[in-house]
Structure 1
Amino acid sequence: MTHTEIEITAELVRDLLRDQHPDLADHPLRLGARGWDNQLWRLGDDLAVRLPWATESADALLRKEHAWLPALAPGLPLPVPVPQRLGEPSARFPRPWIVTTWVQGEPADRAPVTRAEEAADVLAVFLTALHRPAPEQAPARRDRGGPLADQAESFAQGLAEATERGLIPDPDAVRAVWEDAVAAPEWAGPALWLHGDLHPANVLTADGTICGVIDFGDLFAGDPACDLAAAWILLPDGAADRFHAAYQPAPDAATLRRARSWAVLKALACILIGEAGVRGRPGGKATWGPPAHAALRRLIATTHH
């Protein structure tokens, strides 16, 4: 199922609500955003309906959020979209969907962080709260929280494609960051709860600082380095050290090196998605490129301690 096969309209969303959650069906409804996996429709002032539209994997991600996020959200110091209702597949719409709380703010790919120190502290406090040992039955993702050696092929492909398109001024410098970081010892601690996809489109800002975190579809348990990469991806130049000082427990040198690997992978992916957006290709997001290029510059300019 892709977005070419089913058109999501206000009428469809309202009909789905009437069928399964009639007490919500008369709230004002308007399109909020078309994301990578889901469409988001604002429902009144406080709620949103998320419906999968572009990727087959979105169904399982929505169910995962509905299962796990309500228990985690009360312990988090920033607003997150807390699932309130689950919509089951039906003849009208053959996929699951959810109703969540609406989180105020502008995505950071459109409204970047400008108050660096404050944002570093806010992000550190948020991830300190999220990164708790997860139960054994928590979802896992080998491709995000597992050994970095497993990502070598993905890194090589991303760098080759970006280089071929002339998007990376200094491929050797990017490769040097990766090779140093990927050589770090693996995570030996417990599997911690992780957001898993902290890039600018999934973090909201207001008044120059971070005010919310959205899209927990990748929520899983694993190595915190995957999320700590956000210091280079989300924060302005010079803010990473403050973030790492505020995050508790303080990450060791190996964890920071692994975090740099994840940051390189995320930056390359977002650069390629951004380029596709500039060229008007389906799935492309033109606003993803500039912050990803800035992240790569930061990573090349700093070495691990």
Structure 2
Amino acid sequence: MCPMSASLDTDLVRRLVAGQFPQWAGLPVERVPSGGTVNAMYRLGDRMVVRLPLYEGGAADVELEQEWLPRLAPLLDTAVPELLGAGRPAEGYPWPWSVHGWLAGDNPQPGALSEPALLAQDLAGFVAAMRNITLPGAPPAHRGGPLASLDAATRAALEALRALPEEGVDCDSLAAVWEDALRVPGWDGPPVWLHADLMPGNLLVADGRLASVIDFGCMGVGDPACDLFPAWNLLPPDARVVFRATLGVDDATWARGRARTLSQAVIALPYYRTTNPSMAHNARHVIQSILGEIA
């Protein structure tokens, strides 16, 4: 039986690479700092990165990327990770892993965007391009189902936040946003292709513009509202308007997108508040963005 989590270090990654990709043996290996919770990344030389699941649940995400990223990449103008090698379990490491081409850029920081309106247009262009993909046999996206499927977890998270008065969260107002969204029409069109995890940590920017989108472990098809996350987890209000107008989002889809982003944030904050400062900080930003929008 596979362990639920794995211990990783540079020596293990070096052995995995040398054993399965001898052409890259001897290249320097260095851990890449990341606020991610599912995978670890190690720089391999100057042009590659090794991506390895930290726990058993992440293995399926790696296999999903290995299957679909090579098919999606030619259909997108935005750079996405190029799969250079599909690694197998070895050296006591129990799950598949990948070698991708290195993508340069920095994660955008909410409140510190140099070109927010242009970045909003870039993000809308990426989301629209994903929606226009028609590859057959697509998997369902993580979180891509009906909004009601998130109801129990969202309500439980709101109650957990009520028990944390030091966070100062207006849970009554957030609950009202959630209740209102549950009453709007659901998506009744065909499911569309989604990245489904457009967090700032999965975006890379250069000179204020979108350079690439990474971490496609949640991708698949579902409700287009799932890819509206950047409106509240990254963009300031004026750029949020640009993002919505460029995509042409209707009121019901906008409400569902805001509620989905809210759900992710209120679940993340009590869970990560003492263990992952980056995730907790972004959750607080989302909550304030949504409260500001409805004020």
Alignment TM-score, normalising by the size of structure 2? 0.91
Shift of residue 160, structure 1, vs aligned partner: 1.0
Confirm whether residue 52 of structure 1 aligns to residue 53 of structure 2.
yes
Encode CA deviations 1:158-208: one digit per residue, 9 max, x unaligned: 111122112243111111111112211111111111111111222223334
Is it true that 1:261 corresponds to 2:259 in the alignment? yes
Does the 8 Å contact 1:194/1:219 carry over to 2? yes
* Distance change (3 Å), C-alpha of 1:110 and 1:253: closer
Deviation, structure 1 residue 15? 1.3
| Offset, 1:116 | 1.5
Residue 222 (structure 1) shift = 0.6
The alignment status of 1:229 with 2:229, answered yes or no, reads: yes
Amino acid paired to 1:232: W
Please tell me the residue identity of whatever aligns with 2:250. Answer: D
Q: Tell me how large the CA RMSD over aligned residues is.
A: 2.2
Partner of 1:148: 147
For 1:127-151, what per-residue CA distance to the aligned partner results, in whole angstroms no more than 9, with x for missing partners? 111112544521114x611111121
Q: Which residue of 1 aligns with 2:163?
A: 164
Say if 1:177 and 1:300, in contact at 8 Å, map to a contact too.
Answer: no
Cα contact 1:113–1:210 (8 A) shared by 2: no
Q: Percent identity?
A: 35
Show CA shifts across 1:206-230 (max 9, x none): 3344332211111111111011132
Match of 2:276 among 278, 285, 288: 285
For residues 236 and 46 of structure 1, the distance between their equivalents in structure 2, rounded to whole angstroms, comes to 33
Residues 90/274 of structure 1: CA separation in 2 closer, same or farther (3 Å cut): closer
Normalized against structure 1, the TM-score is what? 0.88
Corresponding residue for residue 97 of structure 1: 97
Counterpart CA distance in 2 for 1:236 and 1:182 is: 25
**Is this contact kept in 1: 2:184–2:255, CA < 8 A?**
yes
Which one of the candidate residues 251, 270, 283 is aligned to 1:272? 270
How far the C-alpha of 1:261 sits from its partner, in A, is 1.0
Check conservation: 1:134, 1:221, Cα contact below 8 A. no
Which residue of structure 2 aligns with residue 118 of structure 1? 118
The letter of the residue matching 1:11 is D
Match among 274, 287, 290 for residue 296 of structure 1: 287
Please list, as runs of the form range in 1=range in 2, the aligned pairs for 1:202-213 lying within 5 A after superposition.
202-213=202-213
Is there any run of 5+ residues in structure 2 with no aligned partner, and where? none
CA distance in 2, matches of 1:134, 1:271: 35
- Given the superposition, is the C-alpha separation of residues 58 and 111 from structure 1 closer, same or farther in structure 2, using an over 3 Å criterion? farther
User: Residues 112 and 208 of structure 1 are in contact (CA less than 8 Å); yes or no, is this contact kept in structure 2?
Assistant: no
| Residue 114 to residue 165, structure 1, CA distance change in 2 (3 Å) | farther
- Matched position secondary structure for 1:297: helix
Deviations 1:68-88 (A, max 9, x none): 011111222322222221111
Query: How big is each residue's C-alpha offset from its partner over 1:19-71, in whole Å with a ceiling of 9 and x where there is no partner?
Result: 11111222222111353111101112221111112x32111100000000111
Structure 1 residue runs without a partner (length 5+): 277-283
